[in-house]
Amino acid sequence: MDEEMINKVAVSSLETIDLASYYPKEEIAVFDLKPYLFMELILKEKDFRAALHLTDWTNYLHKIVAVTCTADAIIPVWAYMLVASYLQPVATEIIMGDEKNAVRQILLKRIEAIDVEEYKDKRVVIKGCGDLPIGEFAYMEITRKLRPVTRSIMYGEPCSTVPIFKRK
């Protein structure tokens, strides 16, 4: 028996997408408005502006910044706008919400930027295992984006997949 073993997965026409490759690699910093509030409850415009002016914004240099307020306070819209005006020159991305929300928005933005023509009429496997916490929303979004152009979509690993969609 001198038959050569062939790795059928390696020679198949499957295209694999690993959503972990779209996960933000940049550091995510959280900017919380709570410490900038009087008694961590009330926004006083003059004090707020002064505190922002004295903030060392270089701490956010080249980072994704999630802007949030963890206090149960009413924050006027202009306060978030003011924070964004300070962050814009230093941060790579400014997102409203906590760190989890920032990861979600970055993932969705990067999935939306995928050129679907690259997968036209192809059989695609969306990798399902990994070390990063890829949310279900990302799997749903990649399926929504690819379904109109692909021949089929599967979930899992190329050697063991779950069929999701097959064009008839």
Q: Within a domain: residue 115?
A: yes
For residue 45, is it within any domain? yes
Are 40 and 18 part of one and the same domain? no
54 domain residue, yes or no: yes
Q: Which of 113, 145, 141, 161 is nearest to 16 (CA)?
A: 161
pLDDT in tens, 61-100: 999 999 999 999 999 999 999 999 999 999 999 999 999 9
CB 57 within 8 A of CB 164: no
Lowest mean pLDDT segment, chosen from 3-12, 34-43, 130-139:
3-12
Write out the H or E segment, with its range, that includes residue 107: helix 99-112
Q: Are residue 35 and residue 83 in the same domain, yes or no?
A: yes
Q: Which of 60, 91, 122 is the endpoint of a domain?
A: 91
**Pair 37, 72 in one domain:** yes
pTM above 0.85, yes or no: no
> For the segment 13-55, what is each residue's pLDDT rounded down to a tens digit?
799 999 999 999 999 999 999 999 999 889 999 999 999 999 9
Count helices and strands in the chain by DSSP H and E runs = 5, 7
User: Do both 138 and 159 map to the same domain?
Assistant: yes
* Residue 160: domain span: 8-24+104-166
121 pLDDT higher than 90: yes
| 82 and 69 belong to one structural domain | yes
Q: How many domains does the chain have?
A: 2
At how many degrees (to 10) do helices 99-112 and 136-146 cross? 10
